Amino acid sequence: MAGKTEAIMARKGEIMKRALGMDYSQFERSPVAFDYEGMMSAHGYSIDDIVAIQRAGGVGRTPLLELRNLTDLVRSYSEPGHGARIFVKDEAANMAGSFKDRRASVSIHVAKEKGYAGVIAATSGNYGAAVSSQAARAALNCIIVQEAFDSRHVGQPEIIEKSRICEAFGAEVIQLTVGPELFSHMLELLDETGYLAASLYSAFGVSGIETLGYELAEEMTAVTGAPPTHVVVTHAGGGNTTGTARGLKRAGAKTEIVSASVDLSGLHMASDSDFNRKSFTTGHTGFGVPFATWPDRADVPRNAARALRYMDRYLTVSQGEVFYVTEAMAKLEGLERGPSGNTAMAAAMSLARDLPVDATVVVQETEYTGAGKHHWAQLNFARENGVEVRAGDPTENVPGKSIIIPERPEQIRAKEMDLARMRKSYVRNALSHAPEGYAPTSDDVAFLAEDTNSNPATVEEIIAALKEA
């Protein structure tokens, strides 16, 4: 078995080149730098083309809602003159119930246009539902590969719910136990079937999210007279932050990009024992930090989702804070939505209390909810796996051991991640993947500055510090 895995992994480049219909080598400029914008535009679709593709797929132009009751709540405990207006883009209105319909619609269009008989995606999250839904509309075969169980064959209710909806759309769902086999098994299936790899991290997939940021700028300008001052984005693998930020920039918006994740520090995402001691399958630091500090750990040679390039701030919230906000959204705004978008909403409530009343904070997505995704199901599952669940001070939350649900909304306080430290980690990772002894050029430094949302002087300082360490 080990030999078979090694053999398939050795052919990764060949398999992915055929499965994506793109030769990534044309964009390489050095062992460190590559032509990111060239890669992003290589598919040849303009944003108008992507809008048309999405409209044909029943995707996009989702409602923008002002959350007046939630805003009033935040203002009730903010300092005088503070408490920004809070809005949400209700992406649960898409075909399969999340913003990931946007990226799936473009991937499926590419598969159909290039004559692939089907698509394959490796995902335990909403993307599987999105790919399955769009593949059904396009009459394409679809295989979804999931990490669904621990070694006891116990699966999280949210993942089981995702399996159900993928199968409802007609996809074949292959479920694996947690471990390193997910990617190698996907490669094997791509090799056997000749299907398109509907990767979360392809240029056409991430480009599909740009319409979300573009719509936000247009719609907020129509409602308030200007683009939003702040947009809060749930951050995991980076596509959500990247695509939304790029769309806002396309629209000319000078909006601060705030990424948000659930703090699951101390838990290892590939650990069998940790797998079921977390209540969130995405939007957490177990993906958010590694993918921000080294995006090219993905299934594609060069990841189109490069969140650190676009983040202005990165906030974390606890599991209990997200569950509190999930219920508050339902009871105050009549929006019963799944946990992913509510991660950003928890961060937005913390952010809004410190901003002036004329600021506007947009949470750029919601997701559908269902039996397995509902917060009560998640909390019951946590208890079954030995995690303490109680009301109290959310600062006492310990990932994998306790979920502390706030007693009052003013207890919701997001924590600031150190972006300078993350930039240093990114530069270290980038240089470690270059040949031993490689000296970065001025072009490399310029690229690293862009990819870390910093400047060449900062990158030079990081490189000098790494040499001394």
Of all residues in the chain, the percent with pLDDT exceeding 70 is 99
pLDDT in tens, 267-280: 988 889 899 999 88
The mean pLDDT value for 68-84 works out to: 98
pLDDT of the residue at 281: 85
Q: Which residues neighbour 256 within 8 Å (Cβ) at sequence distance 6 or greater?
A: 229, 230, 231, 312, 313
Q: Which residues neighbour 443 within 8 Å (Cβ) at sequence distance 6 or greater?
A: 29, 30, 33
Where residue 182 falls among pLDDT bands split at 50, 70, 90?
Answer: confident
Q: pTM for this structure? A: 0.96
Judged against a pLDDT cut of 80, whether residue 64 lies above it is answered with yes
pLDDT in tens, 311-335: 999 999 999 999 999 999 999 999 9
Average pLDDT, the chain: 95
Judged against a pLDDT cut of 70, whether residue 1 lies above it is answered with no
How many Å is the Cα radius of gyration of the chain?
21
Q: Look at the block and give the residue holding tokens 């950003």.
A: 344
pLDDT in tens, 349-403: 999 999 999 999 999 999 999 888 889 999 999 999 999 999 999 999 999 999 9
Q: Are strands 360-363 and 230-234 parallel, antiparallel or unpaired?
A: parallel
Cα angle 366, 94, 43; round to 5: 105
> How far is Cα 311 from Cα 289, in angstroms, rounded to an integer?
12
Higher pLDDT, 260 or 11: 260
Higher pLDDT, 419 or 339: 419
Tokens coding 407: 């007693």
